[in-house]
Amino acid sequence: MDALSGLLTGFAVILTVQNLYLCFLGSLIGTLVGVLPGVGPLAALALLLPVTFTMSPVGGMVMLASIFYGAMYGGSTTSVLLNIPGEAASVVTCIDGHQMARQGRAGAALGIAAIGSFIAGTLGVVVMTFFAPAIAAAAIRFGPPENFGLMVLGLVCTLFMISGSAVKGVLMVALGFLTAAVGIDVVNGRERFTFGSVDLSGGVELLAVVIGLFGVAEVLVNVETLTPSTLLAERITGLWPTLADWRASWRAMLRGSGLGFILGLVPGGGPVTASFMSYALEKRVSPHPERFGKGAIEGVAGPESANNAAVAGSLIPVLSLGIPSNPVTALLLGALIIHGIQPGPLFMTQRPDLFWGIVASMYVGNVFLLVLNLPLVGLWAQLLRIPYRVLFPIVLLLSVVGTYSANKNVFDLWVMLGFGVAGYGLRKLEYDLAPFVIAFVLAPLLEQSLRQSLVMSPDGAMILLQRPVTAFLLAASAVLVVLMFRKSKPGGGSK
Amino acid sequence: MLERALNAFWILLGAAAAAYAWTLGIVGPSGPESGLFPLIASLIILSAGVVLLVRPPARLAAPEPLPAAALARIGGVVAGLAVMAIGMPYLGFAVAGAITMIILLRTVERTSWAGSIALAVISVAAVLWLFGHGLGMVLPRGPWGF
């Protein structure tokens, strides 16, 4: 199926009342999640994943994906009006966006952020439409050794991109592998690391891990210092950018779109990295870099475009290869598996309705989000009046519901609490939690590929070097590992 | 100090997990056994722990000691969730959730009793209505039937 006919199939799937409703609902929840500080897209996806169990896979995945890209739109509102990022990818928008609000130009900042997000999001999906099938077609001949090499390269790229200590990153990956090994070995039915516990025989629940690490731990970090914030701009006017704003922003939007898309493709990249790098790029190419930090509109247009384009980019490896590039796409991969779908290069040919339905929904979702974020921005601004002291107990209550709903097992609540406390402690000690989640989700697939590779070869592990593609992928991984440790300060310090 | 203790813990965890993985079998007549993958993971944890302990980062992560008020708030959140996990099977979601909310609002934000109870009842009712009624999720019921 070529890209255009695939896209038509996707629109036929998505243009039903139920799927359009779910796409709209996801966009609405995503914007809400983006707007409210302290609730990230990952925690929101984890909380709402059990809700999708009763939906069709298309409806469920469309809703989850729209929450992800919807959060990128909403995050800018909080950054501009409160100087607090609604979610991590909007941190840099605080710098110039809030300065613009202080100068009475909150409307222009929010308008350019929404329009830039729409343009970048749509461009990203257009490229995804043609690019993802090409990647999947190339990868369709991959066997277990190649899949193993690909997953190793994905994990190494993630480690290469993290900001902290490389050694700590490697440790988090291994810890993710070990945690995923708990439960019954699917190959021979043998129990591993369960110590006779019935609760552990089914393995450690993904939702309990993610909600603990990114929901409960986030609340613990936030309640440490509960500081009141001041909402700028009671009424927001002048949303449509002036001609001068357009002149200053259009190049930044295009650069942000390109950079964001490429960084989204790279494992470990994603919206957060994209927004930071776009800001740095805009400052570098600007003839007046001294304006940055004082309300430069390019400092809003570039990063906000970049984080939206990165979402489309980051969905390509997970949908075409089954390789997540960040924790959110790792959770989407987990959601696919929970819905009984085998991710990987064959996904597109085996479930074209689902793949193209998701792609088509992103075109529609971007339109929904533009409508939700431009005319309704005043409503979102009013939501920022909700104090965190009211918000966090509700987040915790939803965390309990989300975790419990997965297996109807109270034991999972203890797992969530344990991972929440551990995640809080590890964050304080500068451990990056993203590699843990990605490794935890990938571990069963990685182990399966490794064991299948070893079984199919009379030469044991040598098969990994005898297959040219695998050898190339592993050699590339080795080069990246060397570069990663050379970049690290002695002893695995910060890069 | 805390970071050094954690590094020592990684070494112990890696060693214990590697020893356990070994007992699961590494390679058998029909190929790799259940212990191979966990053994690799354990050895990586062990090695990384040794590296972090012997050659610590140039700048050790040393979180500033938390003020008593912040510690109380964190303790309140953890205690609230523990009460929820203990109480939910016996009291049901609604009552355990309301008690948890009151603990959180009283310990973390020191909201008034009346405000805490009102907010707890409204929040729990909203969550029950949305997830239990609207989305058809089965949440534990207490002896009172809700």
Q: How far is A180 from chain B (nearest CA, A)?
A: 9
**Using an 8 Å Cβ cutoff, are A67 and A41 in contact?**
yes
Cβ-Cβ pairs closer than 8 A, A with B, add up to 187
For the beta carbon of residue A93, count every other beta carbon within 10 angstroms. 31
Q: How far is B73 from chain A (nearest CA, A)?
A: 6
Q: Which of A393, A404, A492 sits opposite B105 (nearest CB)?
A: A393
A412 pLDDT above the threshold of 50:
yes
| Mean local confidence (pLDDT), A91-111 | 88
Give the residue with greater pLDDT, A488 vs B140: B140
Question: Hey, what are A89's tokens?
Answer: 């990818």
Residue A265 confidence class, pLDDT cut points 50, 70, 90: confident
Q: Which of A63, A387, A427 minimizes the C-alpha distance to A215?
A: A427
A488 pLDDT above the threshold of 80:
no
Tokens 């993958």, located at residue: B37
Q: Convert the pLDDT of each residue in A132-143 to its tens digit.
A: 888 888 887 888
Q: How far is B32 from chain A (nearest CA, A)?
A: 6
Instruction: Please report, for chain A, how many H helices and E strands are present, in that order.
Output: 23, 2
Side chain identity, residue A90: S
Q: How far is B135 from chain A (nearest CA, A)?
A: 7
A16 pLDDT above the threshold of 80:
yes
Question: Hey, what are A183's tokens?
Answer: 């439960």
Q: Which of A220, A447, A493 sits opposite B57 (nearest CB)?
A: A493
The pLDDT, as a whole number, for residue A270 is 80
Percent of chain A scoring above 70 in pLDDT: 96
Q: Convert the pLDDT of each residue in A233-260 to its tens digit.
A: 556 677 788 899 899 899 999 999 999 9
pTM: 0.85
Residue A451 confidence class, pLDDT cut points 50, 70, 90: very high
Buried b (16+ CB within 10 A) or exposed e, A405-441: bbeebbbbbbbbbebbbbbbebbbbbbbbbbbbbbbb
The pLDDT, as a whole number, for residue A76 is 84
Chain B residues within 8 A of A145 when measuring between CB atoms: none
Give the residue with greater pLDDT, A448 vs A43: A448
Residue A20 confidence class, pLDDT cut points 50, 70, 90: very high
Chain B residues within 8 A of A491 when measuring between CB atoms: 51-52, 55-58
| Mean local confidence (pLDDT), A477-489 | 83
Q: Which of B58, B61, B140 sits opposite A430 (nearest CB)?
A: B61
Chain A residues within 8 A of B61 when measuring between CB atoms: 428-430
A277 pLDDT above the threshold of 70:
yes
Nearest chain A residue (CA) to B3 = A429
Residues of chain B short of pLDDT 70, as ranges, are 56-62
| Mean local confidence (pLDDT), A276-287 | 89
Chain B residues within 8 A of A408 when measuring between CB atoms: 138
Residue A229 confidence class, pLDDT cut points 50, 70, 90: low
Longest dimension (CA), chain A: 72
Where do the structural domains in chain A lie, given as residue ranges? Answer: 3-487
A461 pLDDT above the threshold of 90:
no
Residue A394 confidence class, pLDDT cut points 50, 70, 90: confident
| Mean local confidence (pLDDT), A417-441 | 93
| Mean local confidence (pLDDT), A390-415 | 88
A386 pLDDT above the threshold of 80:
no
A82 pLDDT above the threshold of 80:
no
- Residue A311 makes CB contacts below 8 A (sequence gap 6+) with A68, A69, A72, A121, A124, A264, A271
A80-94, A127-141, A470-484, B38-52: least confident range: A80-94
| Beta bridge partners of residue A86, listed in sequence order | none
Give the residue with greater pLDDT, A405 vs B6: B6
Q: Which of A124, A58, A74 minimizes the C-alpha distance to A357?
A: A58
B interface test, pick of A397, A452, A454 with most B CB neighbours within 10 Å = A397
Q: Which of A277, A368, A244, A360 minimizes the C-alpha distance to A312?
A: A360
Q: Convert the pLDDT of each residue in A334-357 to its tens digit.
A: 999 888 888 888 888 889 999 999
Q: What are phi and psi of B109, to 5 degrees?
A: -110, -5
Nearest chain B residue (CA) to A429 = B61
Question: Hey, what are A16's tokens?
Answer: 């039903």
CB–CB of A401 and B137 under 8 A?
yes
Q: How far is A430 from chain B (nearest CA, A)?
A: 6
The pLDDT, as a whole number, for residue A104 is 85
| Beta strand pairing call for B27-28 and A191-192 | unpaired
- Residue A132 makes CB contacts below 8 A (sequence gap 6+) with A315, A316, A319, A320, A348, A355, A359
A492 pLDDT above the threshold of 60:
no
Nearest chain A residue (CA) to B13 = A175
| Mean local confidence (pLDDT), A358-376 | 91
- Distance in angstroms (rounded) separating the CA atoms of residues B102 and B104: 5
Chain A residues within 8 A of B48 when measuring between CB atoms: 167-168, 170-171, 174
- Residue A1 makes CB contacts below 8 A (sequence gap 6+) with A9, A133, A349, A352
Q: How far is B143 from chain A (nearest CA, A)?
A: 17
The pLDDT, as a whole number, for residue B55 is 78
Angle (CA) A147-A151-A152 rounded to 5° is: 115
The pLDDT, as a whole number, for residue A149 is 92
Q: Which of A74, A145, A87, A59 minimizes the C-alpha distance to A328?
A: A87
A493 pLDDT above the threshold of 80:
no
A494 pLDDT above the threshold of 60:
no
- Distance in angstroms (rounded) separating the CA atoms of residues A176 and A434: 10
Q: Which of A187, A193, A417 sits opposite B20 (nearest CB)?
A: A193
CB–CB of A450 and B37 under 8 A?
yes
